[in-house]
Amino acid sequence: MGVAYVITSGKGGVGKTTTTANLGTSLALLGKRVAVVDADTGLRNLDVVMGLENRIVYDLVDVVDGLCRLKQALIRDKRFEGLYLLPTAQTKEKTSVRPEQMQKICDELKQEFDFVLIDCPAGIERGFENAVAGADKAIVVTVPEVSAVRDADRIIGKLEARGLTDHQLIINRLKADMAKRGDMLNIDDMIDILSIKLLGVIPDDEKIIVSTNRGEPVVTDQESLAGKAYRNIARRLTGEKVPFLNIEDEENHGFLKGFFKKLFRK
């Protein structure tokens, strides 16, 4: 019996979908059986980020409506053993699915998979209700901005009201130099405000944009610092103890490496 995680944030555009795709891929690379579920009906993206858009035949809403079996809607990612995507419909609305139906689907998926990762839509309405209905644990994603932290706080309150008290935080898109100068919220401040366990910190990385546009998860890029951070988080989810990356040092290190590379190329 697996565990279902909902990946949520309240605010849009902080990296829920990217996080879902990359954690799903990393966990699959660690040999786990993983199902990633897109709960953002009407504004689906997870399929695009994972590069599986053109393989969608059936979706979550079809399963709910009884047009197909759950197995038929699951798309196997051929690049990674054990990774499956349950896409949702782009032409329907959030109200096409009810929380109890979502819960049933998650329960079914948990029989089959070690990890079920649910990509939650932004907002606190029906889409959120659906996404959290079947989840056992939550991963809250935020970025070092006051508005995102505020929304994360609201979401944590909502999760707790639903009895989802096992929640952890991912701080995304941290710019180490800015945080050091005090121009950005620092990690300790955010943990202090949200009073929540830290799961990991993802440094700001341009490679993420390239990889999401291409539909190739960044975790496959051994050079990328963000990829490394995601891989570490995945290992933490499997129960392994992995020390936090020192983003500052790594960035400098990365910079130097790039510098030497350039030097040698010449």
Partner 1 sequence: MESGNILFKGTKDGVIVMVRGNSDYLSVEQALKDKLHKAGNFFKGSKLYIDFSHADIDEEQQSIIKNQIMKDYCVAIKDIDAGKNKMFTGTYEGRTRFIKGTVRSGQNIEFWGNIVIIGDVNAGSQVVAGGNIIVLGALRGMVHAGASGNEKGIIAAYSLQPTQLRIAGIISRAPDGENVKPKCPELARVKDKRIIIEPYVPDKFYD
Q: Which of 38, 153, 204, 205 binds partner 1 (CB under 8 A)?
A: 153
**In the complex, least distance from residue 156 CB atom to partner 1, rounded to whole angstroms:** 6
Q: Which residues pair with 86 in a beta bridge?
A: 37
Task: Retrieve residue 95's tokens.
Answer: 């109200």
Pinpoint the alpha helices (H) of 55-165: 60-64, 70-73, 99-112, 126-133, 146-161
Parallel, antiparallel, or unpaired for β 83-86 and 75-76?
Answer: antiparallel
Tokens 């070092």, located at residue: 144
**In the complex, least distance from residue 195 CB atom to partner 1, rounded to whole angstroms:** 5
| 111 vs 195 by CB, closer to partner 1 | 195
Distance CA 63, CA 69 (A): 6
Distance CA 218, CA 230 (A): 9
Q: Which of 81, 160, 177, 223 binds partner 1 (CB under 8 A)?
A: 160
**In the complex, least distance from residue 120 CB atom to partner 1, rounded to whole angstroms:** 17
Q: Which stretch binds partner 1 (CB under 8 A): 58-66, 90-98, 167-175, 188-196?
A: 188-196
Q: Which of 12, 13, 31, 157 binds partner 1 (CB under 8 A)?
A: 157
Q: Which of 66, 195, 243, 262 binds partner 1 (CB under 8 A)?
A: 195
| 30 vs 191 by CB, closer to partner 1 | 191
Distance CA 218, CA 209 (A): 9
Q: Does 158 bind partner 1 (CB under 8 A)?
A: yes
**In the complex, least distance from residue 214 CB atom to partner 1, rounded to whole angstroms:** 36
Closest CA to 22 of 150, 264, 159, 202: 202
Residue 6: count of CB within 10 angstroms of its CB: 29
**In the complex, least distance from residue 163 CB atom to partner 1, rounded to whole angstroms:** 14
Task: Compose the 208-237 pattern: x for residues touching partner 1 by CB under 8 A, - for all others.
Answer: ------------------------------
Rounded to a whole number of angstroms, the CA Rg of the chain reads 18
**In the complex, least distance from residue 149 CB atom to partner 1, rounded to whole angstroms:** 9
**In the complex, least distance from residue 232 CB atom to partner 1, rounded to whole angstroms:** 27
Are 85 and 36 a contacting pair, CB within 8 Å? Answer: yes
Q: Which stretch binds partner 1 (CB under 8 A): 61-69, 81-89, 191-199, 236-244?
A: 191-199
Task: Retrieve residue 221's tokens.
Answer: 């890029």
| 28 vs 190 by CB, closer to partner 1 | 190
Helix or strand or coil: residue 107? helix
Q: Does 156 bind partner 1 (CB under 8 A)?
A: yes
Closest CA to 173 of 207, 124, 137, 211: 207
List residues binding partner 1 (CB under 8 A). 150-151, 153-154, 156-158, 160, 192-193, 195
